[in-house]
Amino acid sequence: MNLEKLLNPRSVAIVGATEKPGFGGDTTRNYLQFSKDLDHLYLVNPRGGELFGRKAYTSLAEIPEDVDMVILCTPEKTILGLLEEAAAKNCGGAVVFASGYGEVGAEGKIKEQLLIETANKLGIAIMGPNCGGFANYGLGRVAFAFLMEDRERAGNIGLVSQSGQIALSGLDTMHYGFSYVISSGNSCNVSVEEYLEFLVDDDGTKVVCAYMESVKKPAALARLLDKAARKKKPVVLLKTGRSTKSQELAASHTGALSGSDKVLRAMFKRYGVIEADDIEEMYSLALTFSTATSLPKGDRIVYMNVSGGEAGVTADLVDDFKLPLAEYNPETKAKLQSLVPSYGSVNNPFDMTAGIGYNTPAMVEAMEAISADENVDAICIDYTITPQIWDQTIAYMVKAVSIVREKETMKPVFWLPFVSHSRHVESIESLAAAGVPMLPTGLYGCRVLRKVLDFANFEYQPFTPSMVAPVGQTAKALSEVDSLCFLEKHGVVIPPQATAANTEEAMAQAKILGYPLSAKVDSPDILHKSDVGGVKLNIRNDAELCAAFDAIMESCTKAKPDAMIHGVLLKPMLELGAEMIIGVNNDKDFGPMIVVGMGGVFVELLHDVQMRPAPVNHQEAMEMLEQLVSYPLLTGYRGSQPKNVQALADLLVSISQMASQCADQIKELDINPVFVTQDGVSIADALLIVYEDGQ
């Protein structure tokens, strides 16, 4: 759907305009107060006459020019007719505030479907229904039903919100500047993903920000996130659904069933999306990217305080959020020492003392010295800015920051206050003009800073998920031997194995494989082999082998008389090592995901797993392993031999490539365990579930 006429309209009509309070009145008043180009605004009210001193047209047809976009403030039952009238004026977009659609049950869903069909037929992009409207602050089009304060809101944050209330939270807060604010409502024929892509493409939008409850178009989401990542345009998303309860609420709120939340977050990670965990954090992240004129090249920061106490608090906070403290080179340290009084000490966090904090030129010198240090990536000033300036320190410091930021070479500067309240407006504006973001307080501020640094240092490797329709609707489990053969056929290295239908074949294979061996029943109908006596280990010679063969066949035939039993699967006994679990899950939305974790309590009790969309390359595979809590157990923990993690990473790569290539066939894969030794890796067991026609 083309959003040009909806979001960037030249001519606009408000249908249902009135001077009375309510949707029509509030929207008209807002539009007149906050918008530009009022010459091409038309108020429509069947009674005609004058409204707000302007002519009121009795219908859309009466308007003397084409109407790009209509704002419909009228009830549900009028909407279809008005869209037909609008289409006659070459209209391409409509804001529909009316409720009574998909959000109110079965009958409403039918009405919404009819709305979609009509709008699609007429070529009209609908915002809503059941939405709060939108603003294009660049062009000056404010089509909101919300009442709000008269204040400049133009800026570079592009916001889409599935909740009007959450959009309003941003509009109601000082200091945020927006390119677009879109309250998408039911998103009937324009999806949230389409708005997001519009904002990724829009040059006036520096940071894209969204509140989302569900993903309706996974492929579109992946495409737009790829586009944003290539441009390195930050995308800040607050996606509810971490908890079961919020998934339930989203289902009842928007009617959309959400896919796996964990899968979605693995996708976000893959594209470098900045995830916010609540509304405050979402807006703070957006504000930080909006204000910062450059981002740090690393995460080594010097924190500057004017209080020993606040320096101590900062030290604890940055440690909590794994923000590394920059270490000065000796020249920087000497320079700073010359600027503080004799009792001051140069540390990081750096208590500047009054010697620097109350002295703008000294602070300029200090910041320039710190910025010039190759061990420093950024500076963060930690000081509360009060609503009125009683403490002149604030003014001295703000002035110093403004001065140093005039230099092109100055590294990025952030500001972190300790107490939350409104702040001295001129100081905030000076800092914003100097490209210095105001972080939220303490814990929030450090969370935001950590996420901003992660984004700044994220190296995107372009990615398109393997989203392929499966070949069949139903799925079946393959036997161990078939699963392993499937893996081998698709480039995954598996240990030697052979099947034997009788004891003679078994002894012949044993000659090739070599003792000691393991033997397991080979049957597509027996998945839990140990439970039916289908496994024998440590077979050392032909006699033991024959006895094992017979015992397995007898026990399994007895336990599962109907099972088709091909014989036994023989393998040399593997060298034991760290036991890892590798899995593939072909997500309905985003295709195959690869998962890895260490067996035992790590996966089962601690849920210590890493997931990524397939395929992954070697570096990504290593990152997955390194991010496991259990990773130290692989690298020579407490004197044990380091395991071959490179080989494990290679295995992850080959499995992920297979999963990606065979996305139409594989439903699930469970490799449990993989033994990782000093020398390499070996798959001890595998269970593959394929779509029925997919072998």
State which of positions 369-388 bind a copy of itself (CB under 8 A): 384, 386-388
- Any contact of residue 325 with a copy of itself (CB under 8 A)? yes
426 binds a copy of itself, rule: CB under 8 A: no
Q: Packing angle between helix 279-291 and helix 164-171, nearest 10 degrees?
A: 50
Question: What residues does 519 pair with on adjacent strands?
Answer: 536, 570
User: In angstroms, rounded to a whole number, what is the distance separating the alpha carbons of residues 217 and 443?
Assistant: 35
Measure the CA–CA gap between 24 and 468, rounded to whole angstroms: 46
In the complex, what is the shortest distance from the CB of residue 471 to a copy of itself, in angstroms, rounded to a whole number? 35
Distance of closest approach, residue 212 Cβ to a copy of itself, in angstroms: 10
Three-point CA angle 339, 345, 351, nearest 5°: 80
Site for a copy of itself in 113-172 (CB under 8 A): 146-149, 161-166, 168-170, 172
C-beta of 264: minimal distance to a copy of itself in Å?
13
Query: Under rule CB under 8 A, how many of the chain's residues touch a copy of itself?
Result: 90
152, 374, 390, 462: which one binds a copy of itself (CB under 8 A): 390
Distance CA 101, CA 281 (A): 32
Is the CB of 324 or the CB of 516 nearer to a copy of itself? 324
How far is residue 228 CA from its own chain's centroid?
12
Is residue 473 within the footprint of a copy of itself (CB under 8 A)?
Answer: no
- For residue 224, the minimal CB distance to a copy of itself (Å) is 21
Distances in Å between the Cα of 73 and the Cα atoms of 39, 69, 95, 135, 633 are: 20, 13, 8, 16, 63
**Residues within window 239-278 making contact with a copy of itself, judged by CB under 8 A:** 240-246, 248-250, 252-254, 277-278
CB-CB contact of 216 with 258 (8 Å):
no
For residue 299, what is the enclosing H or E element?
none
End-to-end CA distance of the chain: 39
Q: Which of these segments, 40-48, 222-230, 291-299, 342-350, binds a copy of itself (CB under 8 A)?
A: 342-350
Residue 414 interacting with a copy of itself (CB under 8 A): no
Beta strands in 340-467 (DSSP E): 350-351, 378-382, 413-416
Give the residue with the Cβ less far from a copy of itself, 543 or 629: 629
3-state secondary structure of 13: strand
Which residue of 20, 511, 528, 638 would you call a contact of a copy of itself, by CB under 8 A? 638
Task: Show contacts with a copy of itself in window 430-459 (CB under 8 A).
Answer: 440-444, 447
Interacting stretch for a copy of itself, rule CB under 8 A, among 339-347, 496-504, 522-530, 541-549? Answer: 339-347
- We find the least distance from the C-beta atom of residue 147 to a copy of itself, in angstroms, to be 4
From the list 84-92, 318-326, 675-683, 687-695, the region that binds a copy of itself by CB under 8 A is 318-326
The candidate with the shortest Cα–Cα distance to 160, out of 134, 182, 193, is 182
- The reply to whether 22 sits near a copy of itself by the rule CB under 8 A is no
Annotate 548-606 with DSSP letters as a single string.
HHHHHHHHHHHH-TTS---EEEEEEPPPP-EEEEEEEEEETTTEEEEEEEETTHHHHTT
Alpha helices in 273-411 (DSSP H): 279-291, 308-320, 330-339, 353-357, 360-372, 393-404
x/- mask, a copy of itself, residues 86-115, rule CB under 8 A, reads: -----------------xxx--x-------
Residue closer to a copy of itself, measured from CB, 445 or 567: 445
Q: Give the C-alpha separation, 162 to 210, whole Å.
A: 8
How near is the Cβ of 634 to a copy of itself at its closest, in Å? 12
Instruction: Select 244 or 409, whichever has its Cβ closest to a copy of itself.
Output: 244
Sole binder of a copy of itself in the list 4, 50, 62, 316 (CB under 8 A): 316
Q: Does 310 sit near a copy of itself (CB under 8 A)? A: yes
Check binding of 531 to a copy of itself (CB under 8 A): no
Between CA 689 and CA 296 the distance in angstroms is 46
Using the rule CB under 8 A, is 551 a contact of a copy of itself? no
Restricting to residues 167-186, name those near a copy of itself by CB under 8 A: 168-170, 172-174
Identity of the residue, 392 or 538, whose beta carbon is nearer to a copy of itself in the bound complex: 392
The residues, any chain, with a CB within 8 Å of residue 438's CB and separated by 6 or more, are 175, 287, 291, 385, 415, 417, 423, 428, 431, 432
HSE-up of 565 (CA within 13 Å, CB side)?
A: 24
Please tell me the distance from the alpha carbon of residue 174 to that of residue 171, in angstroms, as a whole number.
Answer: 8
CB of 283 to a copy of itself, least distance (A): 6
Binding test (CB under 8 A) with a copy of itself, winner from 283, 415, 675, 691: 283
Q: Which stretch binds a copy of itself (CB under 8 A): 5-13, 358-366, 420-428, 674-682?
A: 420-428
Residue 225 CA to residue 200 CA, distance in Å, equals 8
Under the binding rule (CB under 8 A), the answer on residue 321 touching a copy of itself is no
The distance of closest approach from Cβ of residue 317 to a copy of itself in the complex, given in angstroms and rounded to an integer, is 6
* Amino acid (one-letter) located at 110: I
For residue 387, whether the previous peptide bond is cis, meaning omega lies within 30 degrees of 0, is no
- Of the pair 334, 419, the CB lying nearest a copy of itself is at 419
Let me know: does 160 contact 149? Beta carbons within 8 Å.
no
Q: What is 42-59 written as a DSSP string?
A: EEE-TT-SEETTEEEESS
Choices 362-370, 542-550, 557-565, 632-640 (CB under 8 A): range interacting with a copy of itself: 632-640
- The distance from CA 403 to its chain's CA centroid, rounded to whole angstroms, is 36
Three-state DSSP at 609 gives strand
The single-letter code of the amino acid at 58 is T
Convert residues 199-218 into a mask of x (bound to a copy of itself by CB under 8 A) and - (unbound): ------------x-x-----
Residue 319 engages a copy of itself in binding (rule: CB under 8 A): yes
Shortest Å distance, C-beta 46 to a copy of itself: 27
Q: Does residue number 601 form part of the binding site for a copy of itself (CB under 8 A)?
A: yes
Helix (H) or strand (E) holding 105: none
Binding to a copy of itself, residues 34-63 (CB under 8 A): none
